[in-house]
Structure formats: structure tokens, C-alpha cells
Structure 1
């Protein structure tokens, strides 16, 4: 008599004990074990994003009104500054840029870092990932002229001249008074608009705030080593948009002020 193997009597769709004997069930990973990894990845991504692509800056002063809003005792605009464009090209007249102030521009700058070494260390780490502002004199102004150009003010209409030609500045709302024959660049009571001529050194930029009567820009630093200009190497990036507050959302215009 020949014995034949018995067939499995397991219900349809169910696995027999033999089919599961060699399988090891995987336990689900604990969320709390994965959380530190997720945080680390987020911090690294934030660091890379803000170092090489875009970073948000707070406008602390009125020097770019009304293009950018900022004043003492109020909430200033927060702007997105992209860092890619100038890796492939140079800043152009009309661009609004954020730059590191040269030494002569640092008068009045006060460090925001704590004197406590532990707190200061945490602030530095927070700065790397964008949670804390960088401890440097970062400024925002508009490019008016570039290296090799000569800039001055004013023509008989009170306009800035670059290489002898007037530029178009629709963004300027507040400026010093200028009345031909009464208060211009040749009358005893000279207009506050008047300056120059100044030739911008090669590799540098002539920077001015849109709020002309309340901006300590290139005009106020003509006596320094750069003749008031800012090295292109100090440029951090181009201001492209207002991201906060929501009521101020919008792109930042960079018109071709010198034309073709």
C-alpha cells in the first residue's frame, strides 16, 4: 500500500503554517525614532536653500519707500532675495539688491548677537538655517550705475545723469526740493539732490535708495576707498518679491532705467 501526501485543508486564500514559517514580520518604525532624522534633513535642506538659492530678509528702514516698506516701530516688509541670477550675470541698473555694507557703511551697526557664548552659538546655528538673521550689515538699495559709468545730479529737470544722459526713475516718490533758478545745483541755496560727478570704479556699483531724501546711500560715502560705490563681490542677491505681510504680496520691479 502506497501512502500519498495529504492535501492542505487551509481555507481558500489563507496561507498554511508551512508557507509562513520562514517569514519574519517587520515591525513598523517608531515615529519618534524617525523624527530626529526628519528634522536633520529639513535643516540641511533649509541651509542649502538659503545659502545657494533664496533667502528672506526683513526691511528695517524707510530708505526704499514706497517700493519696500520699513520703519521704526512697525512691521517691515519681508522680501525674497534670490541668489542664482548673479552667478550667471552682473547686476544691472534698476535692480533692487541686497548687499553686505562696506566698512564705511557700518557706522551705527550694532551686533544682534548675545554676549552669552551658549546663546550666541545657538543664534549662529539658527542663522545658518534661516531662523535668525545673519549678524552682518546687510543693506537693500537700487543699482543706479555700474563700473566705469559716471553718475551725477542734476540736469535742469532735477534728474540723475549717467554718462551725461538722464535716467527714468518712476519709483522715486520722495526727493529733495528742486526748483530751477531758485533751488538747483547752481543757486546759493543748493538742492539736496545735487552730487558728483562720480566715476564708479570697475567691478563696483553706485547704489541709491528710492526714498531719496531719507537714504544714507552711495552719495553719503563718496570719501571712502570705493568713492561711495559698493563692490560687486559684496552683492548677496536680487530682491524679487515681497512675501510678508500678505497685504503687501507682490513682485519687486527692476525697470531698465537707462534704456538702450
Structure 2
């Protein structure tokens, strides 16, 4: 069977054979390829139907005759979807991706001439099963709920989208400059802030690890927490930027 040459020190095997890949998939995706594509197409159709159905439903429930009533309703649907479903999907996918990178450290992936690693372009093994302490479970839940609430608070009101667009227009020299400013404010700034907060939360355990005071289980838990916190920070920054980009499109075109 084929192997990518990167043995997994934490439970993965790096086995890329069809049988191994099939076992890594969720149960509903296992089986013939045509069944997978059928399920994916059905999910796509259901998702689009829910999106546009929600748009029309919210517009009717609001019963607004304002000129921008459709834009307000569409913004509500998009932001709620981004702040809940997309945010959680990104966090989970990035957590798996960071474990993928962790498993391949020291195998030439980060050296000049090494293999390029692109998120979503490489099949990854499932992350190891972690026995999370209840304190960390509560912290994760709190972070996720706070992240969702922050995204909804900032982007759900249509007036905020208009105000953000006006701010970017006033403090930029053109469309390209506005895009760079938007990237700085809604992607890099939250990513840096959350990355700094993550390092602060992890600093004690990192010092203990460097001093050789952690067991093998403690080191595994620390690696998992590092990956979880940084996947949360990255997912939050990506979702915030997407909320802004889609909000700008709604304001401009709807």
C-alpha cells in the first residue's frame, strides 16, 4: 500500500491506500463514489434552498417596505450562516489541518525544496482522540460562543455594514486600498490579538514542557490545545473577513 513517508507519532499511520482513506471518512460518505457525489449534490441543493428560502422568509417576516429591505434580509441570512455553521466548519477543518502539519514536522515539509502544503488540497488523517479535561471543554465552548456572539454583534445589523463601508471609503485611497485596510482590520488584527491571547493561555504549560515536567499524555494534550486555540483564532479571522466581504457585496449589489 502507498505511504507518504511520514509516520504519525500520535496515532495516524500516513497510509494513503483507498481502504485507509475510506475508513477516515464519516460513515455517511463511505461506499461507492456515485453515492458520495449524490449526497454532496443533495446537500448543496438543500443548502442553497435553505439560504434563499431563509432570505425570502425573513424578508416576509420583517414585512418591510424600505428600499433596502431585501439587502437587510440577505445580510441576516448570510451573517447567521457564517457566524454559526461556517465558523464551526472552518475551526474543525483547521484543527485537523494543524494536526496534519504537526505530524509532518521534521520530514522535510518546511525545508527549501520540500513539498508544498495547502489547506484543503491535501488529504489528511483524522486528529487523535483527546481526553479533554472539563476545564478545557468549558473554555472551548466559551470561546466558540463568544466568537459567534462577536460576529453577530458586529455584522448582523445592516447599519454596521454601512458604517464599516463608509469608514473604509473615508480612510482609503481607492478600492485596492480599501481591500487592504479591510484585510488588516478584519483578518490580521483579530488573528494577531487571538494569537497573543493563545500564547498567554499556553505559556505556563509551555514552560513546564520545556522544563521536562510534562508526561507524554501532558505533551499530547498541550499539542492538542495549541492546535485548537490557533485553529479557533484562524477560523475566527477568516469568518470575520468573509462576513465583511459578503456584507460589502450585499450593500453594493443587492
Is the TM-score greater than 0.5?
no
More strand per residue: 1
By relative contact order (CA 8 Å, sep 6+), the higher-ranking structure is 2
TM-score normalised by L of structure 2: 0.24
Larger Rg: 1
TM-score normalised by L of structure 1: 0.23
